[in-house]
Amino acid sequence: MQKVTILCVGKLKEKFYIEAAAEYCKRLQRHCKLELLELPEYRLPDNPSPAEIQKALETEAAAIREKLPKGGALVAMCIEGKTCSSVALAQRLEDFAVSGKTQVTFLIGGSVGLDAALKAQADWKLSMSPMTFPHHMARIMLLEQIYRAYQIQQGTKYHK
């Protein structure tokens, strides 16, 4: 069984996000060993300078590196990544497993994104869309798409 880790900067606060995440985590238990790790977001002032943003990215990156599972595939969720269809995501997860990468880690940065060095370290840079979404919503969307990917692999009617 594939192990999937979603490493997120920031905690879900709104009840509707928490409930949605819990539902997809419950559904995914049958398909993978899911681990959801939340790391604290660096506090920035209302109008941060570029140097303050860079410090936040570096601080968050250091915390992410401490929690990164060893080995496997690393997927950075970032706007400059490539978009893909749900079917292509299902195929990519299967390709990782076939190639021996039974651990797949998805990184979701905080409100200012992910550090460039983490993105460079990733095996795959994935974008949900050219549109910008709150990182909390991106987490729910990613959970749903991972669930959909496993449903596609199994040929269920979930993906129509």
Longest pairwise C-alpha distance within the chain = 49
**Is residue 49, in this structure, part of any structural domain at all?**
no
**What's the chain's average pLDDT?**
94
**Comparing C-alpha atoms, which of 42, 44, 41 is closest to residue 10?**
41
Beta-strand ranges (E) seen in the chain are 3-9, 33-39, 73-82, 103-108, 124-126
Whether 39 and 67 have beta carbons less than 8 Å apart is answered as yes
**Is residue 62, in this structure, part of any structural domain at all?**
yes
**Is residue 111, in this structure, part of any structural domain at all?**
yes
**Is residue 127, in this structure, part of any structural domain at all?**
yes
Structural domain of residue 143, as residue ranges? Answer: 3-43+57-153
Whether pTM > 0.85 for this model: the answer is yes
Residues forming beta bridges with residue 76, ordered by sequence position: 107, 125
**Is residue 139, in this structure, part of any structural domain at all?**
yes
Band (pLDDT 50/70/90 cuts) for residue 86 is very high
The answer, yes or no, to whether residue 76 has pLDDT greater than 80, is yes
**Is residue 50, in this structure, part of any structural domain at all?**
no
**Is residue 160, in this structure, part of any structural domain at all?**
no
Q: What is the CATH number of the domain that holds 129?
A: 3.40.1280.10
Please tell me the predicted confidence (pLDDT) of residue 130: 87
The answer, yes or no, to whether residue 29 has pLDDT greater than 90, is yes
